[in-house]
Amino acid sequence: MNEAVFSQVAMLVFLTGLIVWMGFIVWDLAKKSQAGKFGTIALFTVLGAGVVGFIVKTVLVEIMQI
């Protein structure tokens, strides 16, 4: 396994872990602040938009070969 393959695999694993961890943090924040159903949905929508934006950027970079 060369460095490029290791970097690719490590990024996927650690980035997935980071996204899950951020989801837990947002859930815990919503629970502790008593945000309610609407507030919790709003928090996760904003987090989801950031994650989707990162995924779209990654896909576009791979398609365009930049």
CA dihedral sign, ordered 40, 35, 26, 55: positive
Q: Return d(Cα 20, Cα 14) in angstroms, integer.
A: 10
Non-local (6+) Cβ contacts of 44 within 8 A are 23, 26, 27, 30
- Rg of the Cα trace of the chain? 16
Structurally, the chain folds into a number of domains equal to 1
Taking CA atoms, 7 is separated from 2, 11, 15, in Å, by 9, 6, 12
pTM, 2 dp = 0.72
Full domain range(s) for residue 37: 3-64
Per-residue pLDDT of 29-48, as tens digits, reads 999 999 999 999 999 999 88
pLDDT at 58: 85
